[in-house]
Homo-oligomer: A and B are copies of this chain.
Amino acid sequence: MTNGADLLCDTLLENEVDVCFANPGTSEMHFVAALDRKQNMRCVLGLFEGVVTGAADGYARMSGKPAATLLHTGPGLANGLANMHNARRAFTPMVNVVGDHAAYHLPNDAPLTTDIESLAKPMSRFVRRIAGADDVSRATAEAISAARAAPGGVTTLILPADAAWTDVPDDSPISKASLRTPPPADPKRVDAAAKAVKSGAKPVLMLAGTALRDGPLKRAAAIAEATGARIIAQQSNGRVERGAGRVPVERVPYVIDVAMKFLEGTTHLILIGAKSPVTFFAYPGRPTTPLPEGCEVITLAENTDDLPGAIDQLAEALGVKPGAAPGIATAEIPGLHSGALTTAAIASAVANYLPEHAIICDESVTSGREFFGFTHGAAPHDHLQVTGGAIGGGIPLSAGAAIACPDRKVLNLQADGSGMYTNQALWTIAREKSDVCTVIFSNRRYAILQGELKNVGAGEPGLNAQRMLNLDDPFIDWVSLAKGMGVEAARAETAEQFNDLLKTAMSRKGPFLIEAIV
């Protein structure tokens, strides 16, 4: 017997989508039964849909291909939207399968009935309701095509229960996704960019997406070395390859004044898959971009283009030799701290103890703003950020990255307030016995908001403001919380304690959480 649900699974597998992060409900039971029949599909349960979509994001950033998710009707999708938003901003390929009522049951307006399309559209580049069992395979292949089209994106397939449970012929055709190679940069743009690099007083190359991998970064560094141009990364990035032997690159800072200082004097900003920088928020009477006045913005490549290729095209136009190895200074590793457990102490410990080819999932928010400066010399690693500003991405990202790369250590640098959003992801890490070390920056407040309240000129916070910005009454005991979900954990209150715990955690396998009281 083959039904629509089987055909959906087969189409996913045929197109190399073989991991499904899931939190099913009754309307998806035929899909669950079909997944149960597919030995090659790995199903990973999240105890909340924000875990499911955040893990799918982390998985795809590291594996380079989409995972499927399984979400239960409108409310299940709703719970997954915030991390779909982060994935959207990271241009992560993702195929969300949202179960819905049987088509003929929708007019009855049963309790779970919702306008799924309206919920899905803001976070998806592609939304499609499957028309019936014989539409399943075509629709699924279309979603995979859309998810994988450069630079990648979030897609949502709505699977009515009757499309899942209706039988199809055993030899129903399984559709193949059409995958297109991203085009090269427009030669006119290459000329314009080359001209700007040559003639500009202070040209800056701003990189994003696949341009931030080791190879293209080295080619960009060769251009920089040959021409005096500067290389920077956009503020939030899905994945950066960095560490010892790689090109040290700084991101545009979050705080507007710091960002303006960072970009001071820039005459030409050349975008390589990046978006011209804007402030994260607007502030009364302040500019909404940190770029200096008169700075010319030139797009070398859109993020739909072949970004590594565009860097090669620019190098060629500038006469920089393909093999030219840039002089990458080996950054120093800062010394270990003692005494107070500061964010600098944590960053220094990471620089010392990070194993080779680790994956850092960074949602450290205010605690991590200077992290890059401390860790340019750390062992080579991938650095993944929460890209859309929707908090609660970090722990799920780490859960998903570990599924993609079971042989690599995953280090999650996690702000406490944000971590609470999707703390359930710790359970998935425990369930999967993933090699993830979670470091909680326990400052027991929404530190970023306390800073912003000050900026508003509200003076000293009164009772209501304190009650909305402090997390210290009661404080969250992360060691107990982790234990509750099956993750071994310990607390560090001094730099020495943290150094010891991190050293141990980095040298052994399996889930571990360190609550760092900062």
Question: Considering only CB atoms and an 8 Å cut-off, how many residues of chain A contact the other chain?
Answer: 108
Cβ of A129 under 8 Å from chain B: no
| A448 to B78 alpha-carbon distance, docked (Å) | 21
- Roughly how many angstroms separate A73 CA and B82 CA in the complex, as a whole number? 11
CB distance from A131 to the nearest CB of B (A): 17
The 8 A CB mask of A380-418 against B (1 = contact, 0 = none) is 000000011111100000000000000000000000010
Q: A288-B108, A486-B474 are in contact. Are A29 and B279 (CB under 8 A)?
A: no
Any B CB within 8 A of the CB of A497 = no
Instruction: With both chains docked as a complex, state the minimum distance between the C-beta of A42 and any C-beta of chain B, in angstroms.
Output: 8
List the B residue with the shortest CB-CB distance to A81: B78
14 example contacts (A-B, Cβ-Cβ < 8 A) are as follows A30-B456, A32-B458, A35-B465, A36-B458, A37-B462, A75-B85, A108-B288, A110-B279, A110-B280, A112-B281, A161-B282, A162-B284, A423-B424, A431-B473
User: Which of B110, B278, B392 is A109 in contact with, Cβ under 8 Å?
Assistant: B278
Residues on B with C-beta less than 8 A from A25 are: 449
Residue pair B280, A112 in contact (C-beta under 8 Å) = yes
Residues of B with C-beta under 8 A to A387: 111
**Docked complex Cα distance between A108 and B279 (Å):** 9
- In the bound complex, how far is the Cα of B452 from the Cα of A25, in angstroms? 9
Query: Is residue A105 contacting chain B, with contact meaning CB distance below 8 A?
Result: yes
Interface-side segment among A116-124, A175-183, A215-223: A116-124
Interface string of A241-278 (1 = CB under 8 A from B): 00000000000000000000000000000000001001
* A421 beta carbon closer than 8 Å to chain B: yes
Q: Which residues of B contact A461 (CB under 8 A)?
A: 36
Would you give the shortest CB distance from A394 to chain B, in whole angstroms? 14
Which of A44, A111, A467: most chain B CB closer than 10 A? A111
Docked-complex contact A111 and B449, CB < 8 angstroms: no
Known: A26-B280, A111-B388. A78 touches B78 (CB 8 A): yes
Looking at the complex, which one of B76, B121, B280, B421 makes contact with A47 (CB distance below 8 Å)? Answer: B421
Say yes or no: is A430 at the interface (Cβ < 8 Å to chain B): yes
Q: Which residue of chain B is the closest to A280 with respect to CB atoms?
A: B110
3 A-B pairs with least C-beta separation: A474-B486, A481-B484, A75-B390
Contact of A448 among B26, B282, B391, B485 (CB under 8 A): B26
| B residues in contact with A282, CB < 8 Å | 101-102, 104-105, 161-162
Can you list, as one digit per residue, whether each of A38-72 has a CB less than 8 Å from chain B (1) or not (0)?
A: 10010111011010000000000000000000100
- A468's partner among B45, B109, B424, B479 (CB-CB below 8 A) is B45
CB distance from A127 to the nearest CB of B (A): 11
CA distance A456 to B3 in the complex (A): 12
The reply to whether the CB of A476 lies closer than 8 angstroms to some CB of chain B is yes
Residue A441 CB within 8 A of the other chain:
no
State the CA gap A74–B104 with chains docked (Å): 32
| Contact residue among B162, B281, B448, B485 (Cβ-Cβ distance under 8 Å from A110) | B281
In the complex, what distance in Å separates the CA atom of A109 from the CA atom of B288?
A: 11
Cβ of A499 < 8 Å from any Cβ of B? no
> A87-123 toward B: CB 8 Å interface, digit per residue (1/0)?
0010000000000011011001111101110110111
Contact of A281 with B101 at beta-carbon distance under 8 Å, contacts A122-B115, A449-B29 already known: yes
A44 / chain B contacts, CB cutoff of 8 Å: 467
Say how many copies of this protein the assembly contains. 2
Which of B79, B82, B288 interacts with A104 by CB under 8 Å?
A: B288
Residues of B contacting A24 in the complex (Cβ-Cβ under 8 angstroms)? 446, 449, 468-469
Partner of A33, one of B289, B423, B456: B456
CB of A236 closer than 8 Å to a CB of B? yes
Asked if residues A29 and B452 are in contact (CB atoms below 8 Å), the reply is: yes
Separation of A92 and B69 alpha carbons in the complex (Å): 31
Q: A105 touches which one: B165, B281, B446 (CB < 8 A)?
A: B281
Q: Given B165, B389, B467, which contacts A112 in the complex, CB threshold below 8 Å?
A: B389
- Across-interface contacts of A374 in B (CB, < 8 A): none
Asked if A427 CB lies within 8 Å of chain B CBs, one says: yes
Report Cα–Cα, A121/B117, bound state, in Å: 11
Residue contact A427 to B82, C-beta cutoff 8 Å: no
* A453 interfacial contact with B, CB 8 Å: yes
Nearest chain B residue, comparing its CB with the CB of A511? B474
Interface residues of A in 462-518 (CB under 8 A from B): 462-465, 467-469, 471, 473-486
Q: A420 within 8 Å of B by Cβ?
A: yes
A43 CB contacts on chain B under 8 angstroms: 464, 467-468
A420 lies within 8 A of B424 (CB): yes
What's the Cα separation between A119 and B390 when bound, in Å? 15
- Name A80's closest neighbour in chain B (CB-CB): B78
